[in-house]
Amino acid sequence: MELMGARVQELLDMFAAPGANAAELLCDRHPSGNTAFTVIGADLDFVDISYGELREKSTQFAAALTALGVQRGDHVATLMGKSAELVIALLGIWRIGAVDVPLFTAFAHDAVAFRLQASGAKLVVCDADQRRKLVPAGEIPTDASLPVIVARGEAFGYDHSLAELLAGTSAVVSPASAGPSGTPDGGPVAVGGDGTLVQLFTSGTTGTPKGVPIPLRAVASFVGYHRFGLDVRDDDVFWNMADPGWAYGLYFALLAPMAAGNRSLLLSAGFSAGMTWAVMEKFAVTNFAAAPTVYRSLMAGSDAGAGHVLRRASSAGEPLTPDVIAWGRGALGLEVRDHYGQTELGMVAGNAWADELQEPLRPGSMGGPLPGWSVDVLAEDSDVAAPDGESGRIAVNVPQSPFMWFSAYVDAPEKTVERYSADGAWYITGDSGRRDSDGYIYFSSRDDDVIIMAGYRIGPFDVESVLVTHPMVAEAAVIGTPDEIRGEVLEAFVVLRNESAGSPDMAAELQRLVKDKFAAHAYPRRIHFVPELPKTPSGKVQRYILRARRAADS
């Protein structure tokens, strides 16, 4: 572990330094001929973009932003799908010391408008098919509207064309008006390790989305996970399927690979199990990362691709149920390893893939702390370590975590206070879990998902993990509902592989399964067979919606 400590410090020395420069660290220092991204289309057609091309085009875009009045510290929103244009836009924003505000392309107008207003964005870069979301339905842009740069399509009216800006044919800026490196002073702006790169908003599943400022120093921890947790090597073909509008995609499909100088695949087409296998085979993917939802879809949607050459498969975003691990051993020839993190942290724990960190996999466990992080389970009523096996609060030891970078939400001091212990020594994740005698940590639930029945604290994931072992169950979500005697009882919402199989007999069979495999007292008193579960755009189950629906039916 002494070697790991040295590697952690090496990354911090690079990305947390007072003179750290994002454009240099993410792009310019890498060999110009090396491929940075392979962007894949729906027909498996693809385009490679090199670090040299990224440097040239982002420099031109930086000059265009400067000509449009964007300055260091200004916020620029990006409402864009996976594309070379997205990466160019991001690097152009960071070249001038501005801050990116990622907007997920599945958002509707109201979600987009909230984030634009909350961030104070000065300008928006969007794909042409997303342009309509920037104005209320039925309205049209005016000269007083927020300036918009349109990518991957034609710009109309008051908008600017990204293609024209990059080609130098726009009236806004021409190559002659830019400095040698596309910015007024002739070079990219160094914001330093504490300078903000991104303001990302939390999903807002339990309240108003909160702005999370992501400093350049955070990239040190992202590269740490890229190397230690995912074990991405220079000769890997790496594919992280997550959308860059959310933390796992932004941090680990874009930022970490660029910082490490690796090639990353970006699939611009929609998801299907068949497409996923086809990409793996055609591009010889060796290192793959995705949410559990993706793996479950692969399990249900098609036979495993015989031609894959995967050597690493990782999961994050929601706890990984044991059935996926068992499937991976047979279908992929390797274990899918679960990892744990948050928007405010990046990834802090996991079943690490790096050779020197690998430990035997324990299904249901998120593994242990990754290098650069100290993670533990605290007692429910005091800031001390909970006994082994006892449920408590998953927390990060701040003084012992050199990679720790989150300090406060934007303009939300009361929410920031909730995240820290009174002495500031612990960051409280808001998740519940337990630790075994060997230090492995097991996720139980979000704090607001914990079910307390007759004095027992029950994490829904424990019960869900059993339900999905049934061959007829595709997905399951468990909630607590009020009960006069027990306080709460469990109810399960189950998606079957064959909807017609839903019956009282099937419900009874699932109840017996939970009694036999988990605990007799923790079986779901009612089971609802449903066609699908409500989820966030990143694939997380929204149990609070199920609770609201159940309350409305009572």
Contact call for residues 194 and 220 (beta carbons, < 8 A): no
Determine the pLDDT at residue 322.
Answer: 85
Q: Cα(547)–Cα(493) distance, rounded to whole angstroms?
A: 11
Give the C-alpha distances (Å, rounded to integers) separating 366 from 101, 165, 241, 337, 436: 30, 46, 20, 8, 12
Contact call for residues 259 and 222 (beta carbons, < 8 A): yes
Residue 313 lies in a domain: no
Q: With a cut of 80, say whether residue 406 has pLDDT above it.
A: yes
508, with CB counted inside 10 A (0-12, 13-18, 19+), is: exposed
Determine the pLDDT at residue 180.
Answer: 41
Report residue 287's pLDDT band, with 50, 70 and 90 as the boundaries: very high
Q: With a cut of 80, say whether residue 247 has pLDDT above it.
A: yes
Q: With a cut of 70, say whether residue 433 has pLDDT above it.
A: yes
Average pLDDT over residues 528-551: 88
CATH of residue 107: 3.40.50.980
Q: Cα(378)–Cα(369) distance, rounded to whole angstroms?
A: 15
Determine the pLDDT at residue 281.
Answer: 94
The upper half-sphere exposure of residue 283, i.e. CA atoms within 13 Å in the direction of its Cβ, equals: 30
Determine the pLDDT at residue 182.
Answer: 42
* Higher pLDDT, residue 352 or 296: 352
> Please, what sign has the CA dihedral across residues 232, 259, 338, 365?
positive
Determine the pLDDT at residue 364.
Answer: 87
Determine the pLDDT at residue 465.
Answer: 86
Q: Pairing relation of β-strands 375-378 and 392-397?
A: antiparallel
Report helix angle 51-67 to 84-95, nearest 10: 60
Candidate from 22-36, 115-129, 517-531 with smallest mean pLDDT? 517-531
Average pLDDT over residues 59-70: 96
Q: Which of 155, 183, 215 is the last residue of a domain?
A: 215
Q: Which of 215, 244, 266 is the last residue of a domain?
A: 215
- Percent of the residues in the chain that have a pLDDT greater than 70, as a whole number: 94
Q: With a cut of 50, say whether residue 46 has pLDDT above it.
A: yes
Q: With a cut of 60, say whether residue 183 has pLDDT above it.
A: no
> Residue 462 sits in which domain range?
451-553
Average pLDDT over residues 515-538: 88
Residue 482 lies in a domain: yes
Instruction: Name the CA dihedral angle for 156, 70, 203, 133, rounded to a multiple of 10 degrees.
Output: -10
Residue 194 lies in a domain: yes
> Please, what sign has the CA dihedral across residues 361, 362, 363, 365?
negative
Residue 264 lies in a domain: no
Residue 332 lies in a domain: no
Residue 329 lies in a domain: no
Contact call for residues 509 and 470 (beta carbons, < 8 A): yes
What digits encode the pLDDT tens for the residues 151-168?
999 998 899 999 999 998
| Partners of residue 387 on adjacent β-strands | none
Determine the pLDDT at residue 321.
Answer: 82
Q: Which of 215, 236, 269 is the last residue of a domain?
A: 215
Residue 158 lies in a domain: yes
Q: With a cut of 80, say whether residue 394 has pLDDT above it.
A: yes
Contact call for residues 537 and 246 (beta carbons, < 8 A): yes
Q: With a cut of 90, say whether residue 383 has pLDDT above it.
A: yes
Q: With a cut of 50, say whether residue 379 has pLDDT above it.
A: yes
Determine the pLDDT at residue 179.
Answer: 44
Q: With a cut of 60, say whether residue 63 has pLDDT above it.
A: yes
Determine the pLDDT at residue 304.
Answer: 59
What digits encode the pLDDT tens for the residues 313-342?
999 987 888 888 999 998 899 999 999 999
Q: With a cut of 70, say whether residue 343 has pLDDT above it.
A: yes
Q: With a cut of 80, say whether residue 119 has pLDDT above it.
A: yes
Average pLDDT over residues 259-277: 94
Q: With a cut of 90, say whether residue 446 has pLDDT above it.
A: no
**Domain count of the fold of the chain:** 2
Residue 249 lies in a domain: no
CATH of residue 483: 3.30.300.30
CA–CA–CA angle 461, 384, 247 (5° rounding) = 45
The SS3 of residue 480 is strand
> Please, what sign has the CA dihedral across residues 251, 252, 253, 255?
positive
Determine the pLDDT at residue 35.
Answer: 98
